[in-house]
Amino acid sequence: MKKLWITLGVMIIVIGGGLLGAGSYFYHVAIARGDKSFVTQSTKLSKKSQVYREKYWYLHAQKQTWKIETPDHLKLVAWYVPKKGSRKTVVLAHGFAGNKSLMGAWAGMYHELGYNVLVPDSRASGASQGQAVGYGWLERNDDLQWAKTVVKRTNTTQIVMSGISMGAAGMTMASGERQVPQIKAYVVDSPFTSAQAIISYQAQQMYHLPSFPLVDVTSVITQFRAGYSFKEADAVAAIEKNHLPIMIISGTKDDFVPTRMGKQLYRNAHQPKELWLVKGAGHTTAITQNYQNYKRHVAQFLTRYVH
């Protein structure tokens, strides 16, 4: 009997140690600041692209560099491009493993629609400080702080909060918080429902691993090292608290953030709301699939709430 207990004890220690090691590895892959080689993004310009003009404009536009300091003492950096005579501004959040330089298509579109454009580097990305990606949960308060900064620094009277992928999820999470009065609407492209859901999905897709127990162990490590758990980063719970207009865009061929997540967010949102399912579009590719159609859809939604 004694040998049995010793054997069981050794097995528990070995399995526990293995899980802790695996969890630490996945924390490094998914949460810790650093190169995410499994996400491919490019700033290259192609004249064949439907958004060449917008990206070219963004690349060469005169940008102001803005900085803020968060309550947890991180210095965050953004680019601001004014639109002459405009009193409406978009705060535009990039996706996982992205940065502000990759947002030319969306920045150009909003500028064409008459908006001043503020594009931050999220924490742990680009020129901003931070060692942990927040999967939207930590970023939600940063997004709202940027909105407050817009009000303080400009004559903006109306703000649109927009984002893609993780930036979209973060904006959705921000929508459930106490709002800056000047915020009039949200436009989110390819948002996920929660950190728990998207990391579980990616663990299965990329590594063919079940959610339990690896994702749960990684969540505990994230709680200890970054200050939040995966279940806490919940866009569904946030959207249930939101009462501002929100437009959700999802591609029907998105294999990075499944379309069902956009549908779930829409079901849990209050009116006014809109779900645009873009047939054949992949992850955040609706804008490059048919730029004019994308621009028209976003403009038609926003003109009801922003004037």
> In this model, does residue 274 exceed pLDDT 70?
yes
Pair 165, 96: CB distance under 8 Å: yes
CATH class held by domain 50-194+233-302: alpha beta
pLDDT value at residue 292: 98
Q: Which of residues 18 and 225 earns the better pLDDT score?
A: 225
Give the pLDDT mean for 72-82. Answer: 98
> In this model, does residue 284 exceed pLDDT 90?
yes
pLDDT value at residue 25: 86
pLDDT value at residue 277: 98
pLDDT in tens, 10-32: 343 434 455 567 678 879 888 99
pLDDT value at residue 96: 96
Long-range (24+ apart) CB contacts under 8 A made by 198-202 are: 198/135, 198/169, 198/257, 198/261, 199/30, 199/135, 199/230, 201/257, 201/258, 202/30, 202/256
pLDDT in tens, 141-177: 999 999 999 999 999 999 999 999 999 999 999 999 9
pLDDT value at residue 34: 80
Contacts of 286 (CB under 8 A, 6+ apart): 189, 249, 251, 276, 278, 294
pLDDT value at residue 20: 62
pLDDT value at residue 7: 43
Tokens 């990039």 identify what position?
94
Instruction: Identify the band that residue 47 occupies on the pLDDT scale cut at 50, 70 and 90.
Output: confident
Instruction: Identify the band that residue 213 occupies on the pLDDT scale cut at 50, 70 and 90.
Output: confident
Domains in the chain: boundaries = 1-30+196-227, 50-194+233-302
**What residue type is assigned to position 61 of the chain?**
A
**Among 26-35, 127-136, 175-184, 237-246, whose mean pLDDT is lowest?**
26-35
> In this model, does residue 79 exceed pLDDT 50?
yes
Instruction: Identify the band that residue 38 occupies on the pLDDT scale cut at 50, 70 and 90.
Output: low
pLDDT value at residue 131: 96
pLDDT in tens, 171-206: 999 999 999 999 999 999 999 999 999 999 999 988
> In this model, does residue 40 exceed pLDDT 80?
no
**Among 137-146, 199-208, 278-287, whose mean pLDDT is lowest?**
199-208
pLDDT value at residue 36: 60
> In this model, does residue 221 exceed pLDDT 70?
yes
Other Cβ atoms less than 10 A from the Cβ of 11: the count is 10
